[in-house]
């Protein structure tokens, strides 16, 4: 089955070096066609957000020139603590940064405290509102390797799961299942991916189709 992918924004093409994208606003370690749409969405999001970040000069100057993992370590530096609301907004930005493809649920829980009063700021206001507008149960999808169903990143959008299943080297399967909305840890859509963060053992009635 052939899957067509959105082309990469032309303004990003000069910054592609092999499998890497090294643009001043966005760095991406695996530039596969299946991820062009997410790279574009994130690039547009960062452009739209630039003026807001510049207005918060103390925080933006502190992290803007660092790679994502270095930014995480910088934010957790006890010598120069940051505002807690800004911290959770930053974690949300880091989690949805494209170079964090290899993140783990352990990292998510290391960076967050679900009971913290500022945890909601890990999502944008629109993402937070949408998360709380969902019905009691939702259908979720995941493109993955046949032996890696136990991931934590799902999506409400079957087409996004298909991108991962058909477009990412080594992935061979699409799974769908049912998730209680109370078990959704976070919802992110700033890349246009309808991403649901949830522990996979919370997803029930899972049906997996091998596609490759």
Domain positions in the chain: 10-124, 127-210
User: What is the SS3 assignment for 210?
Assistant: strand
Q: Which residue has the tokens 């010598």?
A: 79
Give pLDDT < 50 ranges for the chain: 57-67, 101-102
How many residues does this entry show for the chain?
Answer: 212
Contacting residues for 77 by C-beta, under 8 A, at least 6 apart: none
Tell me what pLDDT residue 56 has: 54
Residue of 35, 53, 57 whose CA lies nearest to 45:
53
Q: How would you classify residue 70: left for phi > 0, otherwise alpha for psi between -120 and 50, otherwise beta?
A: alpha
Phi then psi dihedrals of residue 177, to 5 deg? -165, -175
pLDDT at 54: 56
Q: What is the pTM of this model?
A: 0.72
pLDDT at 202: 95
The whole-number pLDDT of residue 63 equals 44
């Amino acid at each position: 089955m052939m899957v067509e992918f959105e082309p990469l924004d032309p303004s990003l093409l000069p910054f592609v070096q092999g499998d890497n994208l090294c643009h001043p606003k966005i760095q991406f370690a695996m530039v596969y066609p299946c991820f062009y749409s997410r790279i574009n969405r994130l690039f547009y999001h960062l452009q739209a957000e630039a003026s807001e970040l510049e207005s918060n000069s103390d925080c933006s100057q502190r992290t803007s020139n660092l790679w994502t993992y270095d930014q995480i370590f910088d934010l957790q530096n006890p010598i120069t603590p940051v505002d807690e609301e800004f911290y959770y907004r930053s974690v949300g930005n880091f989690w949805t940064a494209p170079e964090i493809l290899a993140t783990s649920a352990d990292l998510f829980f290391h960076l967050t405290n679900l009971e913290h009063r500022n945890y909601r700021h890990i999502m944008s206001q629109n993402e937070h509102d949408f998360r709380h507008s969902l019905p009691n149960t939702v259908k979720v999808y995941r493109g993955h390797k046949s032996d890696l169903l136990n991931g934590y990143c799902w999506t409400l959008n079957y087409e996004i799961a298909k991108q991962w299943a058909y477009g990412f080297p080594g992935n061979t399967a699409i799974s769908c299942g049912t998730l209680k909305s109370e078990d959704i840890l976070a919802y992110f859509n700033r890349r246009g991916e309808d991403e649901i963060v949830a522990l996979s053992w919370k997803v029930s009635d899972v049906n997996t189709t091998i596609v490759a």
